[in-house]
């Protein structure tokens, strides 16, 4: 049953109707509640809350109800970013060096001092507000990502649980993401709702269909009264989308997906991230390049020699790698001749909105002065292999040890906003690459890396530590599997118009992220040891097969 303002029996419920239109996190919501009616509740211990106001303590209990945090995590949460003060606590009353009331103060307030009527009021109104948020597609009400204890479940039970979570997460993520995607269609007098276009795009992505086949299948399966728009209509509206608009909605959707996940899943540790380029092949008709729009002219460009095609679109992405969820954090189209330093700066900024960054990894395509300058200015650690220039080869020839370091190593090149052939400074490390057989000590070749980490080669221990730092680079190649997986979610198209290709790729990223969230949730719920979580427990194919059932259900 959808909640209405008339059914909001309490002041809190009435306030929630207005606040949830613009607020989507627990602290911001609770801090804006007007609590003037609290004087009607019996105070079980007169004067007990003299140190902190009753209103502030009630607000923090709403945060606890909204998030489900245990006391320690609740205390950690309100201790950060001035949240306790935002909730109404007086900072002058905090203990020395503290930024929130003591954890025991919070638990005692609820367990010993709040009367049953007040606790019931908070719990009931919080449940009502969460249900309202859920109906409105507000991240605060997303419950599908809450882990459950399934450690003792049977193999059959595991399959049933996995199937249930795929269905639940698919539905909730649709509620979260769809409002962020604006197709630019008229608001009134249209035969098809925007959601019909988006459901259709999900179907095309999950089954690798072109628009014509996708509209036929969607028309046969949807429960929507008007069926499916035709393929030409779908492509017409996708072609109208501008690059900036597509990037904007995918960034917004990534944020909407991560926000509820961070309440329950392990996004707390600093993450290693990798920046990479994805190439989308561009095949001209009869060897003639036809560029439809100014954006096409700006985006079609040549490929590396290793590719089987000569022209492509390039899209840069930033993805978590290593032991955390391999989640895509940002997408940036790469225009022809554009500064890669600017691209990297933008991706790092996007990633920092969601996670704390440990180390940034990138391949030799990012071995450039403007990238190094951007990473240094962003204040993040990085490891990037160097191209084998004559300078690098000379360094390797003169090495006296297996591992050697040159500190304050200069790289020159064009840097945006600086003189031509400007200088960027880093450290250079040369390390051996051994035979793939771990029992074979033979060094195949020596490879150079640049890094701003603290490296030295003065003594053997320094050299061992320097080698260990760059050896972690191998972990970033988990991203190669990520991009192969993303392409499993790409809708098929022969369109050469950039807006269509970018829109499909953006949609694939969102579905890929959804798959990883479900997989990680299942592994946490099954109490799968962390060392085994590096590999998905649930294949992308299984996710695709179950998620497709949710498309077209109103």
The dihedral through the CA atoms of 328, 333, 334, 340 has a sign that is negative
As given in the structure block, the two tokens for residue 122 are 């908070």
Q: Any residues with CB less than 8 A from the CB of 488 and at least 6 apart, and which?
A: 208, 512, 540, 541, 544
Q: Alpha-carbon distance 319 to 519, whole Å? A: 16
What confidence score (pLDDT) does residue 352 get?
A: 92
Q: Any residues with CB less than 8 A from the CB of 268 and at least 6 apart, and which?
A: none
Let me know: does 178 contact 197? Beta carbons within 8 Å.
Answer: no
The dihedral through the CA atoms of 423, 428, 434, 439 has a sign that is negative
Which runs of consecutive H residues, i.e. helices, occur in 9-115?
11-19, 26-31, 54-67, 71-78, 83-86, 103-108
pLDDT tens for each residue of the chain, 554 residues long: 444 444 445 777 788 888 887 887 888 888 888 876 555 455 554 555 567 888 889 999 998 888 777 788 788 889 988 899 999 998 888 888 889 988 888 888 888 888 888 888 888 888 888 878 877 767 676 665 555 555 556 667 767 777 777 777 777 677 667 777 777 776 666 777 777 788 888 888 877 888 888 788 877 777 777 777 777 888 888 888 888 889 988 998 888 777 766 665 556 678 889 998 989 888 777 666 666 667 777 888 888 888 888 888 999 999 888 665 678 999 999 998 888 999 999 999 999 988 889 999 998 889 999 999 999 999 999 999 999 999 999 999 998 888 999 999 999 988 877 777 888 999 999 998 765 554 445 556 888 999 999 999 889 999 999 999 888 886 555 555 555 678 888 888 888 888 889 989 998 998 888 888 777 777 777 665 554 455 666 777 777 777 776 655 44
What confidence score (pLDDT) does residue 475 get?
A: 58
**Furthest-apart CA pair in the chain: how many Å?**
86
What confidence score (pLDDT) does residue 382 get?
A: 95
What confidence score (pLDDT) does residue 290 get?
A: 65
What confidence score (pLDDT) does residue 539 get?
A: 74
- Does the model's pTM come out above 0.85? no
């Amino acid at each position: 049953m959808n909640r209405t303002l008339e059914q909001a029996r309490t002041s809190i419920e009435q306030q929630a109707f207005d606040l949830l239109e613009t607020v989507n996190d627990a602290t911001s919501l609770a801090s804006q509640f007007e609590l003037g009616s609290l004087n009607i509740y019996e105070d079980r211990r007169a004067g007990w809350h003299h140190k902190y106001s009753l209103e502030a303590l009630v607000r923090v209990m709403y945060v606890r109800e909204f998030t489900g945090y245990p006391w320690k995590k609740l205390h950690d949460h309100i201790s950060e970013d001035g949240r306790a003060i935002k909730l109404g606590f007086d900072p002058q009353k905090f203990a020395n060096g503290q930024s929130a009331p003591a954890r025991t103060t919070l638990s005692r307030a609820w367990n010993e001092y709040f009367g049953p009527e007040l606790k019931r009021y908070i719990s009931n109104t919080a449940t009502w507000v969460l249900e309202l948020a859920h109906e409105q597609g507000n991240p605060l009400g997303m419950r599908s990502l809450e882990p459950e204890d399934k450690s003792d479940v049977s193999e059959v039970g595991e399959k049933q649980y996995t199937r249930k979570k795929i269905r639940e997460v698919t539905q909730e993520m649709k509620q979260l993401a769809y409002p962020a995607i604006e197709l630019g269609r008229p608001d009134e007098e249209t035969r098809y709702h925007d959601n019909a276009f988006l459901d259709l795009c999900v179907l095309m992505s999950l089954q690798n269909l072109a628009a014509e086949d996708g509209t036929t299948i969607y028309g046969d399966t949807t429960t929507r009264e008007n069926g499916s728009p035709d393929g030409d209509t779908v492509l017409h509206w996708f072609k109208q989308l501008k690059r900036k608009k597509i990037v904007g909605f995918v960034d917004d959707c990534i944020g909407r997906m991560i926000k509820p996940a961070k309440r329950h899943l392990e996004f707390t540790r600093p993450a290693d991230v990798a920046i990479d380029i994805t190439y989308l092949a561009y095949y001209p008709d009869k060897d003639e390049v036809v560029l439809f729009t100014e954006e096409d002219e700006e985006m079609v460009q040549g490929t590396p020699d290793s590719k089987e095609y000569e022209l492509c679109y390039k899209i840069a992405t930033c993805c978590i790698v290593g032991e955390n969820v391999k989640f895509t954090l940002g997408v940036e189209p790469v225009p022809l001749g554009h500064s890669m330093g600017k691209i990297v700066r933008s991706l790092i900024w996007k990633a920092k909105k969601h996670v704390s960054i440990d180390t940034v990894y990138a391949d030799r395509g990012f071995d450039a002065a403007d990238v190094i300058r951007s990473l240094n200015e962003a204040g993040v650690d990085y490891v990037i292999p160097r191209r084998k220039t004559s300078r690098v080869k000379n360094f390797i020839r003169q090495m006296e040890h297996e591992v050697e370091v040159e500190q304050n190593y200069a790289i020159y090149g064009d840097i945006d906003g600086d003189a031509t052939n400007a200088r960027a400074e880093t450290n250079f490390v040369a390390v051996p690459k051994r035979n793939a057989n771990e029992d074979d000590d033979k060094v195949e070749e020596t490879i150079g890396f640049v890094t701003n980490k603290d490296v030295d080669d003065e003594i053997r221990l320094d050299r061992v530590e320097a080698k260990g730092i760059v050896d972690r680079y191998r972990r970033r190649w988990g991203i190669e599997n990520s991009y192969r997986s993303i392409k499993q979610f790409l809708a098929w198209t022969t369109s050469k118009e950039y807006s269509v290709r970018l829109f499909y790729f953006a949609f694939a990223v969102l579905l890929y992220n959804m798959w990883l969230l479900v997989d990680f949730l299942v592994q946490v719920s099954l109490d799968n040891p962390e060392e085994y979580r590096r590999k998905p427990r649930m294949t992308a194919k299984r996710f695709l097969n179950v998620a497709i059932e949710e498309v077209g259900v109103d």
